[in-house]
Structure 1
Amino acid sequence: MVFKKRRVKLEDIARKLNISIATVSRALDKNPRVKKSTQEKVFKTAEEMGYMPNQIAKSLSSGKTNIIGVLIPRYDEPFFIEVCRGIDQYARNHNYKILISSSRNSYQFEKENLISFERGLVDGIILSPTHETENVAHLNDLTSKGMPMVLFDNIREEVSGADHVMIDDIKSSFDAVEFLIKKGRKKIAFIGGIKQKKVFQDRFTGYKSALNKYKIPLNEELVLHCNSLDREFEDREILDFFKHLTTTPDAVFTCTDNYGLLAMKTLLKTEKKIPEEVAVIGFGDLGLGEVFVPTLTCVSQPSFEMGQKAAELLIKQLNEPEDILHKKTVVKLETKLTQREST
């Protein structure tokens, strides 16, 4: 017969040491009211008995879990991985842990995840909204209830009470395309993601603005908005895009590193010389561009720093007095163009 092991509780430790439950609780919290020798006994006994603290139960008395909820649209995007690394490093240095969940690019899943976070699991939330998030009422509702929140990346509409961390996507794209134009490129293709996503809209705006400044007509045939949210199908979309072009581009500006690498892979398969015949620029600079041959020129986005700044702003909110009205902070981080062999 198999018996289920019962979870060790504070009273079990107290009974074994013949001290009060309150003393055990204070000792585990390293309360200075408890002697060092008693603290050491409690910690040793707790470890021997296999005690695991119940974080949620503990939060009922303290009002805090010291956990930050992080909600991202997808797990397989290097940009979000880097942002989460930045959040985690800053949070751990300030005695917080992070709980990461994915909305899977679904507005409905985004709302469901936020409801779970709201039910006492986290002290605050760092969120990148999905491309489907056109209505931010659910976010405004959370901040109006006092939930500290920081938004980053795909911010379609400002949320009252939430801090924002972003880059200037329009200017970053404009600068990259202007760089290509100044190198003599006139037939510049654009490869972006799903049209509804604000960051891709802004990067397309920057692309068009650069063409307009230099009086280069927009050729719709050279524009691809990938509809797929899966890497395998993105590859196929980009392959089909180049296969059916009647105008051969002399440069390609892409909205992510992944699109840039897929574009180069396709061009090299068709024996195009990079950058002699076609120059390519990616967006993100998350490490992959340096290992590809030729190496990829990128708009370098400070993804890790974005995560650190988001965590810093959230923890600052968490430490504010409850009777003080939070003053919104909007941070815009700088990007730069990192030139490599593809241009």
Structure 2
Amino acid sequence: MKARLKDVAAKAGVAPNTASTILNRRPNSWASKETEERVFKAAEELGYRPSRAALGLRLGSFRTVGLLIPDLHNPIYTTYADYLECRLREMDYDLILEHSRTDLEYEKHCLDSLLERQIDAVSYFVSDRKNQAAFLEKAKAAGKEVVVLTEALEKPLPYDTIEMDFSSGINAAIEHLLELGHRRFVFLCALAKGQEPGERPDAYRRLLSERGIPQQDCSFISCAHELSSARTAFGEFLDASKQDRPTALIAMNDLSAFGAMRAAWDRGLDVPGDLSVIGVDDIPLGDCLYRRLTTIGQPLKKMADTTAEMLLSRLEAKSAPPKPRAVRFEAKLLLKETTAPPPVS
């Protein structure tokens, strides 16, 4: 049976109010040092812990941060969550997770659910800024601190922001493939349910056009975040382009790259002999394939540490909270074993 406050008080020989004052370390305690030691010893022997919820309501802080991740099955997000949890634990904060399952409608539910929980702050990966504008206003009105993780922005947000700049990594990947001799490209982009590709196709085609690659030699495919979806989408694309197949693929995350590699293997194509493949994220699994995946890596631990520092600087602020700030990280191309010169015609 779970120990109650009155059990601790009885064991220590004090009134329940006295035990509560001591265990919650209230400044108005007049108990002697000997009495305090007796109460803490009784609580330890009985396995009693004060209610964190009740303590949070009294102190105005639950020492808990909420994190929304879009895909529990993608190691990029669970690894980030692990780094963040470790850093917060060092400061005596807990982390709770919500999982939006890469669905923009369900994401709204998850964000609202976080606001209803006993948390002090929230961090999440922005998939669609317009879709989440209402949540940011709700969070602000509820007095919750926010750190958002997003791609590089042209205009700063009025919130603390971790920005991931993929432009240098994407440019390095394209330059690398061009130097190898590739002239036919395909981009594979995993999108959340309800999400549109937006300007991505035009942006990729523009990057290649600036380097002399005509639009007809730059294809764009979208898929869901599941491996099976990437495998199916790219497989159907290969079947429809047998006469003029691309020789280089850049997938917008490593899991999509894995699915595409399987689709290529299903059709007797060799990676990288027939098809060079580059992913994004640098998840550890990519180094365990029969060919180590060339990828564009993100500094996840630095991102998580910075997120924690931003949150704690606000949650632990003794005076006016700091102004919103943005910290930008650059993704880097990591050359491994899935790129090579294109096959000779």
Question: Could you tell me the TM-score, scaled by structure 1's length?
Answer: 0.86
SS of the residue 2:110 aligns to? helix
- Could you list the per-position Cα deviations for residues 285-343 of structure 1 after superposition, in whole angstroms to 9, with x for gaps in the alignment? 01111111111111011223222221211111112246x25411111112211111111
Instruction: State how far apart, in whole Å, the 2-side matches of 1:49 and 1:28 are.
Output: 13
**Equivalent residue in structure 2 for 1:304, among 301, 304, 317:** 301
Contact 1:296 1:341 in 2 (8 A): yes
SS of the residue 1:64 aligns to? coil
- Quote the RMSD (CA, aligned, Å): 2.9
Instruction: State how far apart, in whole Å, the 1-side matches of 2:26 and 2:279 are.
Output: 53
SS of the residue 1:136 aligns to? helix
Question: Displacement, 1:157?
Answer: 9.5
Structure 2 gaps, min length 5 = 340-345
Instruction: State how far apart, in whole Å, the 1-side matches of 2:75 and 2:281 are.
Output: 9
Worse-matched range after superposition: 253-262 or 300-309? 300-309
Partner of 1:16: 11
Question: Displacement, 1:183?
Answer: 1.6
Q: What does residue range 121-270 of structure 1 map to in structure 2 within 5 Å?
A: 121-131=118-128, 134-153=131-150, 161-194=158-191, 204=201, 207-219=204-216, 222-226=219-223, 228-246=224-242, 247-270=244-267
Instruction: State how far apart, in whole Å, the 1-side matches of 2:266 and 2:108 are.
Output: 43
Contact 2:201 2:220 in 1 (8 A): no
Question: Displacement, 1:238?
Answer: 2.4
Question: Could you tell me the TM-score, scaled by structure 2's length?
Answer: 0.85
Question: Displacement, 1:24?
Answer: 2.3
- Could you list the per-position Cα deviations for residues 103-161 of structure 1 after superposition, in whole angstroms to 9, with x for gaps in the alignment? 23344433433334334510111112344952512212322443210001368897854
- Could you list the per-position Cα deviations for residues 13-52 of structure 1 after superposition, in whole angstroms to 9, with x for gaps in the alignment? 1133221334423543567976665444333422443424
Contact 1:222 1:245 in 2 (8 A): no
Contact 1:85 1:304 in 2 (8 A): no
Over 3 Å counting, the alpha-carbon distance change for 1:137 and 1:156 in structure 2 is farther
* 1:288 maps to 2:285: yes
Q: How many residues of Structure 1 are paired with residues of Structure 2 in the alignment?
A: 335
Q: What does residue range 18-97 of structure 1 map to in structure 2 within 5 Å?
A: 18-29=13-24, 37-97=34-94
Instruction: State how far apart, in whole Å, the 2-side matches of 1:71 and 1:297 are.
Output: 28
Worse-matched range after superposition: 273-282 or 184-193? 273-282
SS of the residue 2:131 aligns to? coil
Q: Share of identical aligned residues, percent?
A: 25
Partner of 2:335: 339
Contact 1:139 1:159 in 2 (8 A): no
SS of the residue 2:191 aligns to? coil
**Equivalent residue in structure 2 for 1:271, among 268, 284, 295:** 268
Over 3 Å counting, the alpha-carbon distance change for 1:202 and 1:70 in structure 2 is farther
Contact 1:105 1:131 in 2 (8 A): no
Contact 1:106 1:130 in 2 (8 A): no
**Which amino acid is 2:227 matched to?**
R
Structure 1 gaps, min length 5 = none
